[in-house]
Amino acid sequence: QVQLVQSGAEVKKPGSSVKVSCKASAGTFSSYAISWVRQAPGQGLEWMGGIIPTLGTANYAQKFQGRVTITADKPTSTAYMELSSLRSEDTAVYYCARGNYDVLTDYSIGDFDYWGQGTLVTVSS
Partner 1 sequence: QSALTQPASVSGSPGQSISISCTGTSSDVGGYDYVSWYQQHPGKAPKLMIFDVSHRPSGVSNRFSGSKSGNTASLTISGLQAEDEADYYCCSHTNPGHVVFGGGTKLTVL
Residues found near partner 1 in the complex (CB under 8 A): 35, 37, 44-47, 50, 59, 61-63, 95, 97, 99, 102, 105, 107-113, 115-118
Contacts 24+ apart (CB under 8 A), 22-25: 22/78, 22/79, 22/80, 22/81, 22/96, 22/116, 23/76, 23/77, 23/78, 24/77, 24/78, 24/79, 24/98, 25/1, 25/77
CB of 65 to partner 1, least distance (A): 11
Residue number with CB closer to partner 1 (69 or 118): 118
CB of 66 to partner 1, least distance (A): 15
Residue number with CB closer to partner 1 (47 or 80): 47
Residue number with CB closer to partner 1 (48 or 123): 48
CB of 15 to partner 1, least distance (A): 26
- With contact defined as beta carbons under 8 Å apart, do 6 and 18 qualify? no
